[in-house]
Amino acid sequence: MNFYALFAQLLELAIALIMAPILNGWVNQCRAWLQNRSAPPLLQTYYTLSKLFHKDVLLAHNASSLFRAAPYLIFSCMALASAIVPTLSTELIFSPAADAIALVGLFALARVFIALAGMDVGTSFGSLGSRREMLIGFLAEPALLMVFFTVSLIAQSTSLSTIVETLAHREFVIYPSLAFAGVAFTMVSLAENARVPIDNPATHLELTMVHEAMILEYSGRHLALIEWAASLKLFAYSCLGIALFFPFGIPSAADPAALVVAAAILLVKLAMGGFVMALIETLSAKMRIFRVPEFLGTAFLLAVLAMLVHLLLETGQ
Amino acid sequence: MHEFLLIDWVLTTALVWLLIGLIGVVFQHNFTLISRVLFPLGAVCGLALAGLALSGIDGSPQVLVLPIGLPDLPFHLRLDALSSFFLLLLGATAAGISIYAAGYIRKGEGTAPGLQCLLYHLFLTSMAFVLLADDGYAFMVAWETMALSSFFLVTSEHRHDEIRRAGYLYLLVAHVGAVGILLSFGVMAGSAGDYTFDAMRDFPTLGIWPTIAFLLALFGFGAKAGLLPLHVWLPEAHPAAPSPVSAMMSGVMLKTAIYGLLRVSFDLLHAQLWWWGALLLLLGLASAIFGAIFSTVQTDMKRLLAYSSIENIGLIFVGFGLTLIFQSFAMPQLAALALVATLYHCLNHAFFKSLLFLCTGSVLHATRERNLGKLGGLIHRMPWVTWLALVGVLASAGLPPLNGFVSEWLLLQSFLFTSGLPQGYLNMLLPLVAGAIALIAALAGFAMVKFFGVVFLGQPREEKLAQAHDAGRLERIGLLWLAAGCLLLGLLPNVVITLLDPVTRQLVGSGLSFAASSHGWWLLAPISEDRASYSPAIFLGSIVVLMPLVYWVVNRRFRRRLKRVPPWDCGFPLQTSRMQDTAEGFGQPIRRIFSPFFKRTREHPSPFDTQPRYRSLVEDPFWYWLYLPIARIVGYGTRIIAFLQQGRIAIYLLYSFVTLIALLVWTRG
C-alpha cells in the first residue's frame, strides 16, 4: 500500500467535501455581483445545510425505503466521483478503480437513483422532473463520452491519471480538438449540474423546474444530503474540466510539498471557473425544455467535431 | 464401448431434460409432480449442464457420432470451447428459469401443465442440440425443433386472437430464416455435398461463395436474433408467451442465433472480409438505436423488454462486427478484446433480461395486468420482486457495478482502438460509433427508469393493485439466482475473461487472459493499467462502506425525528394517482425528439368536446415500409399461382400428362 497515494486521496476527498458547498456559495456570490444584487455570504450553503440537518424529516405517506435510501446513495456516489477525479495528484488509490467511462457510469447511477426517487411518492411534479432529468441525461451522456473519447485518443488512454499526466507534461501546443471538446464539455456540465440555460437551481416555478421537481418531496437531512451531493457534483465537474483542459500544476511525483502548492493552484482555478460559470449564467436566459435537445445536440456535434479534428489534423504527422 | 467422455455427459444431461418432459406428459394429471419435482429437476439439470460446460470450456474438442439421422449422414456432435460457452449460458440461465417456472405454472392457464412441461423441456433439449450439432442436418433438425417447440409455448394461450397472430408471425419469420441457414449450409457444403461441419471447414470455398454463404447465414440467424429489419416478431411473440418462456426465448434462444453466426463466420468460413464486419456493425447499430428508441415509448411492460432485447442484440452485433473488422486486418489481440465484449454481453443479457422477464411474470400473476398505465406502487406490495427487478434494471441500463456495464465498457474500450485501423474511412468513422453506443446506453437507462418507476414506484394506478401479492418461494429462488448472476458477473470480470480465453483463442487466435490475470481479481485492465482500468469491487466496496457511514454520522450527529405526512407537491391539495406520469407521458419527450422514427396516429380532443377522447398510437414503421408491401406482393403472386388450381380432377391429370410429355421430350433431346 502506497502511503502517499492514500494520503493524497484522503486529502483530496476532504477538500472536495469541504470546498464543494463553498464553491456553490462562490458561484452564487459572483452571480449576485454580476446581477447588481447584494451577495449572500460565501458560507451560505453551509448555513442552509446546517439548517436542514437540524430539521425533522417530513416523509410522504407513500414514500418507500428506496426513497429514504436514495440520498445516502447519491451522496456516496458523488463523494466517490470527486475522489476519482485527479485534482491534487495523479497518484491516487482510487485512480485505477475507475477510468473516464466508469466515471460517466457513476454519474449515471446517481442520476437513475434520483430519478427513481422522484417517481417514488407518485406526485405529478416528481415524475415530471424525473422524465426531464432522464431526457437531459440521455442527451448529455453521449456528448460527455465523446469529449472523453477525444481526450483519450490524444492520451492513448481512458485512465484519468494517465490523461492528466500526458496533457500536463507535454510541450505547450494548442490542440484545436481540445478547444472544441472544451466548449462541448462546458455545455454538458451546465446541463448536468442543472445550471441556467437548461435548468434554474433557484426556481420553484412549476413549469420550468427539473432538478427541483424531482427532489420536491425531500426535507430535513435527506434534502441536506441531496443538496450537498449536488454541490459535490458541481465540484467534481469543475475539477474534471480543470483536469482535462487546464491540468498544469497537478503534480505527478510523490511529493507532499507539491500537494500544498497543487491545492493552492486548484483553489485559484476553481475560483476562476466559478466566476466563468456565473458569467455564463448571467448572460444567458433559461431555455424551453424542448430547446434542450438542440443545445445538447450542438454539444454532441462539437465533441464529434473535436474527435474528427483530432483524427484528421493531429494524428497524420 | 468407449470411455464416457464429457460430451457424453452433456448429451445425457440434455436427454434427461427430454425425459423429464416425457414424464410430465405421461403423468399429466399429477400437478404436484410436475411443478414440485419435474421443473426443479430440470433446474438441477441446468446446473449440471453449466458445470459440465464450465469444465469443458478449456478442454480439447470432443466429437461423437450418434447412429440416428439420415442413412448416410448420422448425427455428428461436437463439444468445443465455443459450444461449451453457450452451453454454460444455456444451463446457468435455464437453472434460474426452471426453478422459477416450477412456482409459476398454474393449472387452467393456457396449455395444460403436463404438455407445457414437455414443450418446455423439449425446447431446452433442442437448444442444447443446436449448440452441440456438428453437421448441417443435425443442426437444422435441432433448429426446427427449437422453433416449433417454442412456437407451441408462445401460443400457450391460443384462445386469444392476438396471441395466435403473434405465434403465426413468429413461425413465419423463423421458417424464412431457417431457409436462409439451410441455403448457407448448402453453399458451404459445395458440390461435394458433405454436410458435416468438418467437411465444410476443409472445403476451400473460393471467390464469391464465402460471401454468399455469409450473407445467407446472416439473413437466417439475423431473423432468429431479431436484427433489423427482421425484428418484428420479437415485440409480438414475447408478450404473448408465458413469462418463463419469454425469458428463455429472449435470454437464451436469441443467443443461439449469435452462436450460429459465430460458428459460420469464424469456424466454418476461413476468410473474413472487413466489409462483412462493417455490414454487421451497421445492422447492429441500427437495431440497437431502433430498439432503444422504441423501448422507451412502449406502454406494455413485456413489449418494452422485447424492444430492449432488440437493442441488446444490436449491441452484440456491433461487437461481433468489430471483431470481424479487427480480424480481417490481422489484429488478433484487438479482435479478442471485441469478441470478449461480445460474448460477455451475451452472457450478461441472458441473465438480466431473463430476470426482468420473470419479474414481469410475477407482476402479471399478482395483478393480471401488462399495461404500464394500470400498474404502479408495487414496491409496497411486492418487495422481493421490486428489489430483484431493480438489480436487473440497473444491469440492463448499463450502470456500474453490475454486469451490463462491464461489457459496454469493454465494447467502448475496443472502439477506442479503431482509430489505428489501416483503412482510411474506417479509422475516421468507427470511433464515432462509440458516441452512438453511449446514446444507446443512455436511452436504455431512460427506458429502464420508466419501466421500474411506472411499475413499482409511485401510487397504485388501479384499486385492485392493493391485493397484489409477492412472488412465491420457488419464484424467489429463481429470481435470486439470476440477480446473483448479474451481480457476480459484474463484480468478477477477470474470472469471466479468463473463462472466455479458450473461446477467443479458438475463434480469433488470441486471448486476454494474461492481461486479465496480471492485476489480481479485482482490477479489470484488458490491455494495460495505464491504458484503462476499472474495478467493480472497489466501486461497490466504497459505496457499501460510504452509505452506512454517512447514515451513521448523519443520524448520530443530528438525531432528528421522521414524521409521516401527506405529500407536499408544491402545495397542490387534490392529488390522485391519475396525476402521475403515465407510460405515455414518460415517453413523450422521446416521441417528440425522435418523431421521424415512428408512425404515429393521434386523436386529440378539442376544448369543446363533450366527451373528450385522447388516443396516441405509436407503431413500427417497418410494417408499412417493408412488410405490408411484401405481403401484398406475395398475396398477388399466390392469386396468380392459384389460377393453376382449378379444383377439377381432369385439369390435374392434364398437368401430369403435360409434365410427362415434357420430361420425355427433355430426356430424348
Gap between the Cα atoms of B74 and A266, Å rounded: 74
Q: Is the peptide bond before B605 cis (omega within 30 degrees of 0)?
A: no
Check residue A317 and give its pLDDT: 42
Give residues 130 to 149 of A whose Cβ lies within 8 Å of B. Answer: 130-132, 134-135, 137-139, 141-142, 144-146, 149
Strand partners, B603: B615
What are the distances in angstroms from CA B437 to CA B226, B262, B350, B398? Answer: 18, 22, 20, 11
Q: 3-state DSSP call for residue B600?
A: strand
Check residue B178 and give its pLDDT: 94
For residue B659, the enclosing domain spans: 621-668
Cβ contact B201:B78 at 8 Å:
no
Gap between the Cα atoms of B584 and B304, Å rounded: 12
Q: In this complex, do B564 and A59 lie within 8 Å of one another by their Cβ atoms?
A: yes
Alpha helices per DSSP H over B297-402? 301-328, 332-367, 383-396
DSSP type of residue B425: T
Rounded to 5 degrees, what are φ and ψ at B523? Answer: -115, 120
Q: In this complex, do B535 and A303 lie within 8 Å of one another by their Cβ atoms?
A: no
- Compare CB distances from A131 to B434, B577, B586 and report the shortest one's residue: B586
B62-70/B73-79 β-pairing: antiparallel
Check residue A74 and give its pLDDT: 94
- Compare CB distances from B546 to A79, A112, A123 and report the shortest one's residue: A79
> And the C-alpha cell for B30?
399429477
Q: In this complex, do A141 and B400 lie within 8 Å of one another by their Cβ atoms?
A: no
E strand or H helix at B63? strand B62-70
Partners of A102 on chain B (C-beta within 8 Å) are 400, 405, 409, 534, 539
Q: Is B527 on the interface with A (CB under 8 A)?
A: no
Specify the number of domains making up chain B. Answer: 1
CA distance A142 to chain B (A): 5
Gap between the Cα atoms of B402 and A22, Å rounded: 34
Ramachandran category for residue B122: left, alpha or beta (phi over 0 → left; psi -120 to 50 → alpha): alpha
Cβ contact B543:A76 at 8 Å:
yes
Residue B511 lies in a domain: no
Segments of chain B with pLDDT less than 50: 1
Segments of chain A with pLDDT less than 50: 317
Instruction: Say which residue the cell 425525528 belongs to.
Output: B561
> And the C-alpha cell for B163?
396471441
Residue B635 lies in a domain: yes
Gap between the Cα atoms of B324 and B262, Å rounded: 10
Q: Is the peptide bond before A251 cis (omega within 30 degrees of 0)?
A: no
Give residues 9 to 28 of A whose Cβ lies within 8 Å of B. Answer: none
Check residue B181 and give its pLDDT: 93
Gap between the Cα atoms of A248 and A261, Å rounded: 12
Check residue B536 and give its pLDDT: 87
Q: 3-state DSSP call for residue B617?
A: strand
Check residue B205 and give its pLDDT: 62
Q: In this complex, do B458 and A122 lie within 8 Å of one another by their Cβ atoms?
A: yes
The alpha carbon of residue B23 and the mean position of all alpha carbons in its chain are separated, in whole angstroms, by: 29
Specify the number of domains making up chain A. Answer: 1
> And the C-alpha cell for A281?
449564467
Check residue A87 and give its pLDDT: 83
Check residue A256 and give its pLDDT: 75
For residue A310, the enclosing domain spans: 3-314
- Compare CB distances from B428 to A72, A94, A311 and report the shortest one's residue: A311
CA distance B619 to chain A (A): 21
Residue B638 lies in a domain: yes
> And the C-alpha cell for B412?
467502448
The chain B residue lying nearest A139, using CA atoms, is B439
Percentage of chain A lying above the pLDDT 90 cut: 49
The interface predicted TM-score (ipTM) is 0.94
Gap between the Cα atoms of B616 and B299, Å rounded: 11
Residue B71 lies in a domain: no
DSSP type of residue B149: H
Give residues 572 to 631 of B whose Cβ lies within 8 Å of A. Answer: 572, 575, 577, 579-581, 585-586, 588-590, 592-593
Rounded to two decimals, what is the model's pTM? Answer: 0.93
Partners of A162 on chain B (C-beta within 8 Å) are 530-531
What is the pLDDT of chain A when averaged over all its residues?
88
Check residue A124 and give its pLDDT: 85
CA distance B456 to chain A (A): 8
Residue B133 lies in a domain: no
Check residue B2 and give its pLDDT: 61
Q: Which residue type sits at B250?
A: S
B615-619/B599-603 β-pairing: antiparallel
> And the C-alpha cell for B566?
401527506
Q: Is A39 on the interface with B (CB under 8 A)?
A: no
